[in-house]
Structure 1
Amino acid sequence: MVTRKPTRKDLFAEAAQTWDLNRIYELFTEAKRRILPNARQGLTDTEKLYLRGLLCNCSPSDIARQLSKSARGAEVYMCKTLYQYFKGIPETPSDDVGNWRNVHQWLDKAGYKVDLSGDSTVGRSLPKDAKIHITGINFYNENNNATISIDINIKLSFPSEVKSQGEDDIAND
């Protein structure tokens, strides 16, 4: 079986699940514009990638390992880009960034994390009850190829205020 190497967009994609990436990108873009007015508009794909890595609580060396880069190179890149932009955000503490954890912690305290409580849309769309019933297990061994077949039934119960896309379409007709 061939495993596909994750693309750069796939790396640290879980940051989008817990952080408001658009607001964070806008915040860092504005800081970049103030610090480097003649630079390329917006964050580069590489800057976004490293920022997502920080948001996933990865150190610069962890990020470098994921990208098959040198740890020192990642640290230098982040010092010249993201850390400078972070210092340029008016609301951030005036002291130096110190280390990569400060970016993560400050953004968390400043409210850039997505609310995953029951009050959010995401929280309401999760099932409130799940039942899994195994109906059959079969073992096969053909030509030295072992196969296990498992038949299951899954029942998910969602909160009543969540509408499916079909219900919305019917209501609008």
Structure 2
Amino acid sequence: MLRLAINKQFVEAEKAFDLDRLYEDLAAVKGKGLTTTEKAYLRGLLCDCSPATMADKLNKAKNTVAVNLSNTLYPYLKMLLNRGTCRINHWRNVGEWLRKAGYERSFEPITMITTLPAQATVNIEKIKKDQLLINVNIRMIASLSPHTYYVNLIDDDE
């Protein structure tokens, strides 16, 4: 299986969190910049990946990631967030703590000028035992501002 370079893993975290500011603040706590691996682990946590999932994606032993998190990233995060003796009981706590600390990016709501059409087409595509596939086709035109956020739609019809 082809694996992505470590700095290309978990890049989705950059959409939701201010990683540059977070890296800078953690570097101040650590006394030097985060390593490429530490950055990847942090992005993985922010993408809600468990240490086991990160280990698989980064081609590392599962225990290695958990131990490295405990010895490096978790202490830096606790110092940054003034959590002192507070124990990180679960890897999911990291994203929650960083959201509460203001590292999550804020998004402006998009106001759509165009309303939904008065008519839409609905086609019943397939009827099988215990399954019905309905295809809804809505066509709309909207003016998009230069600050538009794109949403990926997933087609699960198969």
Letter in 2 for 1:111: G
Structure 1 equivalent of residue 86 of structure 2: 95
Structure 1: tracts of 5 or more residues without a match? 34-40, 131-153, 165-173
Match of 1:157 among 131, 142, 157: 142
Deviation beyond 4 Å, 4+ runs, structure 1: 126-130
State whether residues 48 and 92 of structure 2, in contact with CA within 8 Å, keep that contact through their aligned partners in structure 1: yes
TM-score (norm 2): 0.67
Give the conservation status (yes or no) of the 8 Å contact 1:92–1:106: no
Identity %: 35
**Which of the residues 43, 47, 62 maps onto 1:56?**
47
Q: 1:31 — aligned with what?
A: 29
Whole-Å separation in 1 of the counterparts to 2:57 and 2:80 = 28
Alpha-carbon spacing, 1:71–1:127, altered in 2? closer, same or farther (3 Å): farther
Pairwise CA RMSD? 2.9
Q: Which runs of 5+ in 2 are unaligned?
A: 117-138, 148-158
Q: Residues 27 and 156 of structure 1: is their aligned pair in 2 closer, same or farther, counting only changes over 3 Å?
A: farther
Aligned residues: 126
Q: Normalising by the residue count of structure 1, what TM-score does the alignment of the two structures yield?
A: 0.62
Please tell me whether residue 68 in structure 1 is matched to residue 59 in structure 2.
yes
Judged with a 3 Å threshold, the aligned counterparts in structure 2 of structure 1 residues 65 and 4 are, in CA distance, closer, same or farther, namely: closer
Please name the residue that 1:143 is paired with: none
Separation (CA, whole Å) in 2 of partners of 1:127 and 1:25? 38
